[in-house]
Chains A and B, each alone.
Chain A
Amino acid sequence: DAGVIQSPRHEVTEMGQEVTLRCKPISGHDYLFWYRQTMMRGLELLIYFNNNVPIDDSGMPEDRFSAKMPNASFSTLKIQPSEPRDSAVYFCASRLGNEQFFGPGTRLTVL
């Protein structure tokens, strides 16, 4: 298996633009997580899914953020409109049992 795949790896956009981050979890994993990492706030869990169903989105910072998981092999995190303070590394992770694996992250820069 190729592991958790995230795209793009780097994204530079301008304030106000829509940004969509993509994640392909490891096949067979039943949990999917979206995290954000910044210098100011450290690592934060934004939202997680179990069997494609969003379970807890209390970490999503505001309504500009939305996440979907239309099927077991794909999830998106969308920011619209983006703001400079959204600049961060966004990690996707999937889990089965006690094993959790992270994607390489998407480094987002909002100018």
Chain B
Amino acid sequence: AQKVTQAQTEISVVEKEDVTLDCVYETRDTTYYLFWYKQPPSGELVFLIRRNSFDEQNEISGRYSWNFQKSTSSFNFTITASQVVDSAVYFCALSEGNAGKSTFGDGTTLTVKP
């Protein structure tokens, strides 16, 4: 059975601080995909990244970066120099195979204060 744990329920930071959102997963498959999604207060879901289990290279996209470590089964997400617009609920998810049945974490609510 697969499982995704986002231990941080809520995080509050002040603008310009760096913040890391943790994601730990469990799976017995050797081929799997990890995702991060953003859900701002408006309610829409925004896809941020999809990473397969064979690619452990860290990814950077602007102020966003992801650290994938198979040794610790973690796929953490860091926002550098946070902004108020980063305030949202962030979900980590795992799927087995190419698309597979996805399992979502419970989400981390990030609040960035001005």
Which residues from chain A sit less than 8 Å from chain B, CB to CB? 31, 33, 35, 42-45, 48, 50, 55-56, 58-59, 89, 91, 93, 95, 98-102, 104-105
Please list the residues of chain B having a beta carbon within 8 angstroms of any beta carbon in chain A: 35, 43-47, 50, 91, 93, 95, 99-102, 104, 106-107
**CB–CB A48/B45 < 8 A:** no
Q: Is the CB of B47 within 8 A of A31?
A: no
**Is B104 within 8 A of A42, CB to CB?**
yes
Majority SS at the chain A contact face? strand
- A82–B12 Cα distance when bound, in Å, is 39
Docked pose: A33 CA to B45 CA in angstroms? 13
CB of B101 within 8 A of CB of A105, answer no
A42-B106, A43-B91, A100-B50 known; A105-B44 Cβ under 8 A: yes
Query: Is A104 a contact partner of B101 (Cβ separation < 8 A)?
Result: no
Is A31 in contact with B45, judged by CB distance below 8 angstroms? Answer: no
27 A-B contacts (beta carbon < 8 Å): A31-B99, A42-B104, A42-B106, A43-B91, A43-B104, A43-B107, A44-B104, A45-B95, A45-B101, A45-B102, A50-B99, A55-B99, A56-B99, A59-B101, A91-B45, A93-B45, A95-B99, A98-B50, A99-B47, A99-B50, A100-B50, A102-B45, A104-B43, A104-B44, A105-B43, A105-B44, A105-B45
